[in-house]
Every structure is written in structure tokens, then in C-alpha cells.
Amino acid sequence: MPGPTGPGLEGVAFGARFAGRRGDGADAPRPLHSPRTASGAPVLELHPLAYDLEGAVRLVRPALAASAVAGETIERRAGRIEDAVRAGAAQGLVAGPAHAAVGLALWDDGHLLGRSLELLYLEPTACSYAAYVQLLDAATPTDRALVFAPAHFAGLPDDRVAQLLRSRGFARWGREEMQYPADRPPPAPLVPDGTAWATARADDAEELAGLHARAYAGELDRYLLMTDRDPVADARVLVRQLFDGRWGEFLEYASPVGRVGPSIVAACLVTRTEEGALLADVMADPAHRGRGLGGAAVRASVAALRARGETAIYLNVTLGNAAATRTYERAGFVRTIGPWWGFYSTRAIPVPEPVYPEAAVASGSAADRVR
């Protein structure tokens, strides 16, 4: 399904969303937080972004680079975030005196359940565990939950970050990108017995919403772009956004739906992003599990895309979803970028932490990051 492919909720595939009101940037505001060490010296000066917009912009690329993983490019996402900061459309804090920013926190308050912390970064000269705790505390809302947080704080060991976030009720989650190799022929078709296939139409939206709600019930994916607590109403918004092109042109010809009798039991909805054709929402009815319906939908999508000359075909999968990963691998997809790691609040999202393969955890270690 659409969702984070990198740090933050919109990641590489869709770019970071930074909703919020423009700061007026008039008189420089007083520091929001100026805690002091035992010696009386301030740890960090923290200010609204309007206090030093250019300083905040300067830190965006170092912050993204510090948490990037092998194979990831940050240019597009960095440009979008920098533009949002300059326009006063970003939400966050900047650390340090005027024109000498040393830290940055950016977040998105658009999630139904609370705040998504997109970036948390301190330059090496200001980096310390105490400084990061201060910055995290300042970025944590007092009136609603902090729902998502990054897994990497530049300059701190990842296990120290994990210990800090777990002590606050967070669990780890991850995503990775998989691509269909450009030089690989289309996969062999798969048509499970008793199914009939056609392309998705706008008047399928309501039935697709019900299928999506059933397919992702109890899964972490259900909460990533959550807009409504009712799962069908939430899925209705997501499906409509795909049809309406929120994340790029909806590719109807490459979006198959499979039926058993009159009912839709599987689908793969595809949209075009800056990176290529994204298999954004792959779903199969749990009542028909084990029939290869998801794999059939994925294979039909790839075949349709290749028939139109598409070579950049990719998807994103949440780590720990072993069945989905096997489906994509059997269809011919290979891992290309990631894993990206983050943390989610188990108080806000009542989903047990997935069990991750040791190889995936190791490949997301600090040693694997792009510097």
C-alpha cells in the first residue's frame, strides 16, 4: 500500500508532507526551551523555525544524509523539504543561536492519531545524548501522541536510540523497496481456478475499500496513512485518493481486480510517481488466503506495464510481512533500497512489534548508511 519508503510518512515515493501555518518571522521570538547543565550553561537554545529559516534549510541535507541507507537518493525529498521550510509551511524547531543553527526537528501533525516526527538532527559539535533528549522532548506534543519517530539520531549509537524510544513505549518498524529488474522478462501469468480478471474502474471503489479494510485488518500498514478510525471509511479515502491521482497518475490499465463470482477478492492498484510505476496497493481477501490471488494480481500488473514499455516498476513492503515478501519475490521482484527503520507508538497503534529477519536488522545498521 502507499506509505513510507524512507524516514517519515511519505518518504521517497511521495515526498514529506509538512502541513502548518506560515511563521510571520517578525521579531525574533524568545527561546522555547533553555535548560541548563549542572554548571549552569545552556544545553540547547530551541526556537521556532521562523527564528532562523536559512539555518534550518542548511541542515536539511545533512540530516537526510545522516539517516540515508545504501541505494537511497535524497535530492528530491531534500528539495521538497527545503522549499517547505523556506515557504514557512513546515512545522518544527531549530536549535542554536541566530545564523548558527546546530540542530533541527521537523514534524507533521497531519496524522489522525498524532504527530509524526520526520527529522531529528544535531550537528557533531552539538551532539550529545542529553541534547537529543531535550530536542525529542521539545518535539513531543503535550496535547496529543507522538506516533512515529525516526530510528537514527546522527552521532548516537542506534541501540542507544532504540533504548530511549522503547522506554517511551515505542516499537521498531521498517520498510524496504523492491523493484522488478528492467532486464527481466514479464513473469509467467497466474490465474487461480475460479477467478475472473479485469481492470479496476472508478465504480469498483466502494468494493475495493471493503477489500482493503479486510486485507489490512490488524496490520501496521492499516495505520500508516490513517485518516479515519473506521477501517472501511479510512480505506475509502485511500482508494479514492489513488483513483484521483493524489500520488501521481492512476494507471487503470495496469490495475487488475480479480473476482470470484460477483465479489472482488484481489487487486493491485498502480500509480505513476517520479520514480516510476508504483504498485501502491496490493490486496487479497483473507477468506481466500492460500490461493495465490495477491501473486496473480502482481504478475498481471507487471505484464500490463511491460506491454506499455514501462521499465521502472517498484513497490514498498513493510518488514515482518513475510507472506507479502515471498509473493513479490516469487513474482520476480528484488530488494533494491532499504530497509529504512523507524519507531511507532504502541500506545497509539495497538499492533505488536513484527518479528524481523536478522539479515534485515543487520542491513539497516549504522554501518550501512550513506555518509
pLDDT of residue 354: 84
Kindly report the pTM of this predicted structure: 0.85
Q: What phi and psi values does residue 33 have, to the nearest 5 degrees?
A: -140, 130
Cell 487479497 belongs to 284
11-174: which CATH topology? Aminopeptidase (3.40.630)
Please give the chain's pLDDT, 371 residues, in tens: 544 333 333 432 222 222 222 233 333 344 444 445 554 555 899 999 999 999 999 999 999 999 998 888 899 999 999 999 999 999 999 999 988 999 999 999 999 999 999 999 999 999 999 999 999 999 999 888 999 999 999 999 999 999 999 999 999 999 999 999 999 999 999 999 999 999 999 999 999 999 999 999 999 999 999 999 999 999 999 999 999 999 999 999 999 999 999 999 999 999 999 999 999 999 999 999 899 999 999 999 999 999 999 999 999 999 999 999 999 999 999 999 999 999 999 999 999 998 876 655 555 544 444 33
Report the SS3 class of residue 80.
helix
Cα–Cα distance for residue pair 101/123, rounded to 1 Å: 9
CA distance 253 to 275: 19
The residue type at 60: V
CATH 3.40.630.30 positions along the chain are: 183-311
Angle at 220 between CA 217 and CA 226, to 5 degrees: 80
CB neighbour burial string for 37-75, b if at least 16 within 10 angstroms, e if fewer: eeeeeebbbbbbbbbbbebbbbbbbebbbbbbbeebebe
- In terms of Cβ atoms closer than 10 Å to its own Cβ (0-12, 13-18, 19+), residue 33 is middle
C-beta of residue 279 within 8 angstroms of C-beta of residue 267: no
In CATH, the number for domain 183-311 is 3.40.630.30
Closest CA relative to residue 90, chosen from 52, 46, 128:
52
Q: Give Cα 71 distance to the centre of its chain.
A: 16
pLDDT at 41: 52
